[in-house]
Amino acid sequence: MVTKYKDLLTGEDVVFNDKGGLARTPDTYNGSSNPGVLSFARGALALLTPQQLADLSIEAYEYTAPEPPEPPEPSTDPKDWPLTRRQLRLGLLGLGITDTSVLAAINAIVDTTQRAAALIEWEDAEEYNYEHPLVASLMTSVGLNADTAAPAWLAAKDL
């Protein structure tokens, strides 16, 4: 809990300006003789009695910050978790799929340009996305289906 202060004239919480004073604009008081800025060092209000605060049209109150909301549950959708090359290769190895198997699947691509592009993607990507066409194609080529690939992908993100 912290003590906050309310400006009784405006109903707003008291705000300190950059010089430590309480910022009030003269028109807040509709022509009264109260000054526009009340000058206090930070923390000085805590030393005043309730009557002294009331004389300044300020009221102290206890404030308890609301509990922060619970963080959302992590996604269980593999497309939300890109993998590094290391994570992907270790995940595949955990399924018994070696680099040799993946390279054989890439080498089986008939079109030489597509095969070269697939090899570049496999060897040089900084991260791999579950929905990338090469990933989907390689999963099928090495015998994985969505039922085995998705949980393996999610497990690999923690490697």
100 part of a folded domain: yes
Average pLDDT over residues 14-20: 59
83 part of a folded domain: yes
Average pLDDT over residues 56-74: 86
The pLDDT assigned to 33 comes to 45
Structural domain including 143 reads 78-156
pLDDT of 30 higher than 90:
no
pLDDT band at 79 (very low <50, low <70, confident <90, very high): very high
Q: Does residue 98 sit in the same domain as residue 58? A: no
Q: What contacts 24+ positions apart, CB below 8 Å, involve 82-89? A: 82/127, 82/128, 82/129, 82/130, 83/127, 83/128, 83/153, 83/156, 83/157, 84/126, 84/127, 84/128, 85/125, 85/126, 85/127, 85/128, 86/159, 87/156, 87/157, 87/159, 88/128, 88/156
pLDDT of 24 higher than 60:
no
The pLDDT assigned to 15 comes to 64
72 part of a folded domain: no
pLDDT band at 89 (very low <50, low <70, confident <90, very high): very high
Q: Does residue 92 sit in the same domain as residue 45? A: no
Which has more confidence, 108 or 2? Answer: 108
96 part of a folded domain: yes
Average pLDDT over residues 104-119: 94
Three-state secondary structure along 61-95?
EEECCCCCCCCCCCCCCHHHCCEEHHHHHHHHHHC
pLDDT band at 41 (very low <50, low <70, confident <90, very high): low
With both helix axes pointing from N to C terminus, report the angle between 99-107 and 85-94 in degrees, rounded to the nearest 10. Answer: 100
The pLDDT assigned to 19 comes to 56
pLDDT of 88 higher than 90:
yes
Contacts of 130 (CB under 8 A, 6+ apart): 78, 79, 81, 82, 149, 150, 153
Residue 40 near residue 56, CB atoms below 8 Å: no
